[in-house]
């Protein structure tokens, strides 16, 4: 249904994710990404992490019924057009989200199968890792494992693009609509992601950015994909636009010195004023 009121309102997206106090990753990165792309962001918090650019100091898990209550509150009133999941923390929280997805009570969903932070902290109980495969992937429109997550999910090492393609095809058999295995951790002049959407393989490429400010890259990619879906794009073009957004945000923040560890991305194009490279690209 479209009425005059709706045309005046931005599309809405939902993130079901953990809080990062340092705000480089987690739901803070998601909400910034939604805002940067012109989408009204809503959130259901799964866990609170005490965290900065150096690492995760503590994790407090939100009780699953409270996660369900947040999702219900948003779904019943604000009606997001797309959603993403990030850190789900426990098997019971994953079951809450999976139950909704199975019953068709979530909008088109991007699942970022977050397991371990780049600094090595667990963001999901280890026994819940494989539950992604049969509880959540079958209901996902897009799933976005990185090399390490994809390797854990298929149970073998992934060393090159060919291995990534095989893993993407295998993960697609779970029922996920589109699988992207992110190759950002592979050495090379380009960051190459391998996509399988049930029809064909695609390689998404961006220039390698030499920076340690990479905290929140995965969160930002999955949030930007959900944002572009909320804006009406099909999954593959949404993912392509999201990859370009991440590449731009990485370049823009590449010289920032926020914190002593892995700093955040520049979601809003602030770099021109705050120390980024002169040749900052456009926002999207
Ligand atoms: O990037 C994965 C991620 C997701 N969610 C939270 C995180 C991280 C990585 O550190 O802290 C809350």
What's the confidence (pLDDT) of residue 274?
A: 80
Mutate-to-test residue for ligand 1 from 16, 18, 27, highest number of ligand atoms within 8 A of CB: 18
Tell me: pLDDT of 187 over 90: no
Please tell me the distance between residue 145's alpha carbon and the centre of ligand 1 in angstroms.
13
Cα(156)–Cα(238) distance, rounded to whole angstroms?
A: 29
Q: Is 2 within a domain? A: no
Mean pLDDT to the nearest integer, 77-99: 97
Mean pLDDT to the nearest integer, 51-72: 97
Tell me: pLDDT of 278 over 50: no
Structural domain including 236 reads: 9-273
Across the chain, mean pLDDT equals 94
Q: Which long-range CB contacts under 8 A does 128-135 form with residues at least 24 apart? A: 128/88, 128/90, 128/91, 128/94, 129/153, 131/91, 131/94, 131/95, 131/98, 132/94, 133/171, 133/174, 134/174, 135/94, 135/95, 135/98
Cα(212)–Cα(194) distance, rounded to whole angstroms?
A: 23
Q: Is 282 within a domain? A: no
Q: Is 142 within a domain? A: yes
Q: Is 177 within a domain? A: yes
Please tell me the distance between residue 10's alpha carbon and the centre of ligand 1 in angstroms.
27
What's the confidence (pLDDT) of residue 4?
A: 54
Q: Is 48 within a domain? A: yes
Reported as a single tens digit per residue, the pLDDT across 22-55 is 999 999 999 999 999 999 999 999 999 999 999 9
Mean pLDDT to the nearest integer, 161-166: 97
Reported as a single tens digit per residue, the pLDDT across 202-249 is 999 999 999 999 999 999 999 999 999 999 999 999 999 999 999 999
**How many domains are contained in the chain?**
1
Reported as a single tens digit per residue, the pLDDT across 261-276 is 999 999 999 988 887 5
Tell me: pLDDT of 178 over 60: yes
Q: Is 117 within a domain? A: yes
What's the confidence (pLDDT) of residue 118?
A: 81
Measured from the CA of 19, which atom of ligand 1 is nearest? 12
The percent of residues in the chain predicted with pLDDT above 90, rounded, is 86
What's the confidence (pLDDT) of residue 179?
A: 98
The structure's pTM equals: 0.95
Q: Is 3 within a domain? A: no
What's the confidence (pLDDT) of residue 258?
A: 97
Please tell me the distance between residue 230's alpha carbon and the centre of ligand 1 in angstroms.
22
Q: Is 283 within a domain? A: no
Q: Please name the residue whose Cα sits nearest to atom 4 of ligand 1.
A: 26
Residues with CB under 6 A from ligand 1: 17-18, 20, 25-26, 49, 51, 86-87, 114, 117, 123, 218-219
Distance of CA 257 to the CA centre of its chain: 24
Mutate-to-test residue for ligand 1 from 24, 27, 48, 49, highest number of ligand atoms within 8 A of CB: 49
Tell me: pLDDT of 282 over 70: no
- CATH number, residue 51: 3.40.1190.20
């Amino acid at each position: 249904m479209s009425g005059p009121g709706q045309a005046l309102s931005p599309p809405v997206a939902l993130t079901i994710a953990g809080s990062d106090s340092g705000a480089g990753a987690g739901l803070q990165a998601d909400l910034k990404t939604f805002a940067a792309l012109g989408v009204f962001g809503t959130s259901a918090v799964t866990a609170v992490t005490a965290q900065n650019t150096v690492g995760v100091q503590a994790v407090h898990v939100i009780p699953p019924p409270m996660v369900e209550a947040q999702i219900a509150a948003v779904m019943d009133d604000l009606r997001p057009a797309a959603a993403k999941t990030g850190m789900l923390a426990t098997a019971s929280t994953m079951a809450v989200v999976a139950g909704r997805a199975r019953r068709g009570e979530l909008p088109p969903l991007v699942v970022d199968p977050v397991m371990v932070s780049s600094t090595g902290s667990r963001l999901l109980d280890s026994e819940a890792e494989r539950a992604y495969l049969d509880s959540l992937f079958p209901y996902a429109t897009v799933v976005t494992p990185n090399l390490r997550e994809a390797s854990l999910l298929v149970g073998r090492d992934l060393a090159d693009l060919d291995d990534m393609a095989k893993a993407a095809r295998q993960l697609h058999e779970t029922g996920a609509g589109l699988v992207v295995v992110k190759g950002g951790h592979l050495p090379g002049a380009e960051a190459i992601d391998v996509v399988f959407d049930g029809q064909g393989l695609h390689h998404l490429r961006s220039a390698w950015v030499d920076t340690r400010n990479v905290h929140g890259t995965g969160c930002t990619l999955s949030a930007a994909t959900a944002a572009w879906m909320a804006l009406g794009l099909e999954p593959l073009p949404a993912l392509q636009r999201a990859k370009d957004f991440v590449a731009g945000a990485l370049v823009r923040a590449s010289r920032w010195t926020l914190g002593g560890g892995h700093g955040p991305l520049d979601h809003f194009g602030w770099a021109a004023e705050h120390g980024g490279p002169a040749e900052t690209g456009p926002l999207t």
